[in-house]
Each structure stands twice: as C-alpha cells, then as structure tokens.
C-alpha cells in the first residue's frame, strides 16, 4: 500500500529505524509509539500534520500492542506486513509570514472566525467561552477562570503571569486530548507564528519552558501535541488559518474555521478558542498601547492585504 503523505517529524523518525508498538486504534487512524514519540497513521481523510502518515487507501486493521519497525522505506507491522513509504509527499507547515497585516485587519479575520464558529461549536468544550454560553459546571467554571487570567496577562504583556493559567489548563478536561490541552495548542501555535512573523511577544525560551510545564501535566500524546504547537508544528489547516489571519485575508477564514472545528468532538473548537483568545488579547494590547495607528484605516478590498512595518518589533 502506498502512503499519500508523511509529516516531516514522522519522516525524521523513519530515518532512525525506530521500532515500537501500536498504542491506539480508532476508526480512521492508529497511534504508533516509537522512542517516546507518537506517529498517527490514517486514511486519506485525516489532516496532514508533522507527525502523521496518510495512506492512499483504507487503514489496515491493526491491534493494540502490535509491534512494528519504522524505516525510511516503509513500515513493517508484526502481523500486517510491509507498507511502502517511498515516493510520498512530505508535509511541513508554514511557520510564519514575512509581511503581517495591520492589527485591525487581523482583528477582522478573527471576527470572521467567530462568525464561522458560532453555528458549529459543540457543547462541553472551551469553544463556548468565545460566546459566553458556558454552563456552571465545575469544569466550565475552572476553565473560565484560567482563560480569564491568561487573557489578562496577555493584554498586559505580563509574560511571567502566564505560568499559572498554563499549568491550570494543562490536562483540564477528559478524552485523548483534554480541552485545556487543545486550548494550549492554539495558544502556543499563535505565539510561535507571531514570533516567526517578526511580531512582538514572549521569548522562544519562555515558550519552550511553558510548553514543557504544560506537557508534564497531561498524557504522553497530548503533551507531544503541546510541544509540537510550541515549535510551530501544527496541522495543515491551522497553519493555513494562521497565515490568512496574519496576512489579513478574511475570504478563506470561514471554510478553514469550519474544517478545524470538525476535528474530534471538541478538539477543533477548543484549539480555535486558544487561537482566537491569544491573538485577540495580544492585538487588544497593541490597541491599548497605540502601537498601530488606525485613524486613517480604510478596509481592504477582498483579495488585497494591508500591511504595516509599525507592527514589527524584535526582542
């Protein structure tokens, strides 16, 4: 069976001839653990990610605990035989943009994200926090308190105050990737994309340290996803969404938002909550501190992008 695409991190593992076992089996994918890292193998419907391999055909029937050998040429399963990995397309997400748009253009894209998400978020996750529609359950109240503290720290650019809510959100919720972890993936992905685009924010050292703190408070797989986001290793759709927002291009935001929101039960909406909350808070900080001038702003024509060097700062 030929693989359709392979993520850059999965390819790296294959070059080390890693061996491991199947640790999770789902309807359209399976998790393979090798050397403390988890690779997701699935059919062509799964999203491309640095740690995924999407097969051109259907996923074979795998069993928990089944052993495998991971080589650059392919995957050899204990009971299923050999799966060729040659000639596949390598996937690496876009890390940033060279000319970010004005903050007001980015805020317009975030408003479009809220509009798209308003009709498709599921109850029980953190997506409800974007619409103040959450219930009074202990989970919702704990999540709201942590997110409020995080937003306040971002708006004040009080980076040291982020440690508390990051630790409080890590592992918060249930499932393979708890809601708090999915939120943090969006949070870290936003911070890293901004840095790679030359925008103001926490240092790389701080981001790495916070990601290690969060990963230590949750499961192996979920912790890996958090560390990935803190390195800019996200799904194809999230990378495209971040690119569109930072370029101030709202025309593709609606479809990308709906696609991300379809991930898992609430994983997609939880991640969007982290993405939107983080960027809105940082952009509001810029408005308060008047780093951008909006006095003469004219909304761009669809298809065009507004840019300003005033938004670019370095640590």
Q: Write the CATH number for 19.
A: 2.40.50
Q: Distance between CA atoms of 165 and 146, rounded to whole angstroms?
A: 5
Domain boundary among 91, 121, 141: 91
Q: Provide the whole-model pTM.
A: 0.87
Overall number of domains in the chain: 2
- Residue range 195-211: mean pLDDT, rounded: 94
Mean pLDDT is lowest, of 205-214, 216-225, 260-269, 279-288, for 279-288
Residue 210 lies in a domain: yes
Same domain, yes or no, for 194 and 62?
no
Domain boundary among 34, 59, 91: 91
Residue 26 lies in a domain: yes
pLDDT at 309 exceeding the cut of 60: no
Token pair 């942590």 in the structure block, residue: 146
- Residue range 57-70: mean pLDDT, rounded: 86
Share of the chain above pLDDT 90, in %: 60
Q: Provide the domain limits for residue 274.
A: 103-309
Residue 97 lies in a domain: no
Same domain, yes or no, for 85 and 190?
no
pLDDT tens across 210-255, in order? 999 999 999 999 999 999 999 999 999 999 999 999 999 999 999 9
- Residue range 260-284: mean pLDDT, rounded: 93
Same domain, yes or no, for 260 and 112?
yes
Same domain, yes or no, for 213 and 249?
yes
Same domain, yes or no, for 78 and 166?
no
The DSSP 8-state label assigned to residue 46 in this structure reads S
CA nearest to 261, candidates 108, 94, 128: 128
Same domain, yes or no, for 181 and 67?
no
Same domain, yes or no, for 191 and 297?
yes
Q: Are strands 74-77 and 29-34 parallel, antiparallel or unpaired?
A: unpaired
Same domain, yes or no, for 250 and 117?
yes
- Give the pLDDT confidence score for residue 305 in this predicted structure: 45
- Residue range 80-85: mean pLDDT, rounded: 80
Same domain, yes or no, for 293 and 189?
yes
Which own/partner pairs from 113-116 qualify as long-range (CB within 8 Å, at least 24 positions apart)? 113/241, 113/245, 113/253, 113/257, 113/272, 113/275, 113/276, 114/276, 115/254, 116/253, 116/254, 116/255, 116/257, 116/258, 116/261
CA nearest to 73, candidates 30, 31, 1, 14: 14
């Amino acid at each position: 069976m030929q693989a359709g695409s392979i993520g850059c991190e999965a390819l790296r593992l294959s070059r080390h001839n890693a061996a491991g076992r199947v640790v999770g089996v789902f309807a359209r994918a399976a998790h393979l653990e090798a050397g403390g890292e988890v690779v997701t193998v699935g059919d062509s419907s799964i999203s491309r990610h640095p740690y995924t391999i999407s097969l051109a055909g259907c996923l074979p029937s795998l069993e928990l605990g089944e052993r495998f050998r991971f080589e650059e040429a392919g995957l050899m399963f204990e009971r299923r035989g050999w799966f060729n990995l040659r000639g596949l397309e390598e996937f690496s997400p876009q890390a940033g943009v060279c000319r970010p748009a004005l903050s007001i253009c980015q805020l317009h894209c975030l408003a479009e994200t809220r509009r798209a998400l308003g009709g498709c978020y599921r109850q029980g996750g953190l997506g409800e926090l974007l619409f103040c529609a959450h219930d009074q359950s202990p989970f919702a109240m704990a999540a709201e308190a942590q997110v409020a503290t995080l937003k306040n720290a971002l708006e004040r650019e009080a980076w040291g105050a982020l440690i508390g809510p990051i630790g409080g959100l890590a592992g918060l919720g249930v499932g393979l990737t708890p809601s708090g972890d999915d939120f943090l993936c969006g949070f870290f992905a936003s911070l890293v994309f901004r840095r790679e685009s030359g925008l103001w924010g926490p240092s790389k050292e701080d981001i790495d340290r916070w990601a290690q703190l969060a990963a230590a408070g949750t499961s192996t797989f979920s912790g890996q996803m958090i560390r990935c986001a803190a390195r800019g290793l996200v799904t194809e759709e999230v990378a495209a969404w971040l690119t569109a927002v930072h370029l101030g291009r709202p025309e593709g935001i609606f479809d990308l938002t709906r696609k991300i929101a379809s991930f898992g039960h609430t994983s997609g909406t939880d991640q969007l909550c982290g993405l939107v909350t983080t960027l809105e808070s940082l952009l509001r900080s810029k408005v308060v501190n008047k780093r951008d001038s909006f006095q003469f702003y004219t909304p761009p024509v669809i298809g065009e992008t507004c840019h300003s060097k005033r938004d670019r700062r370095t640590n």
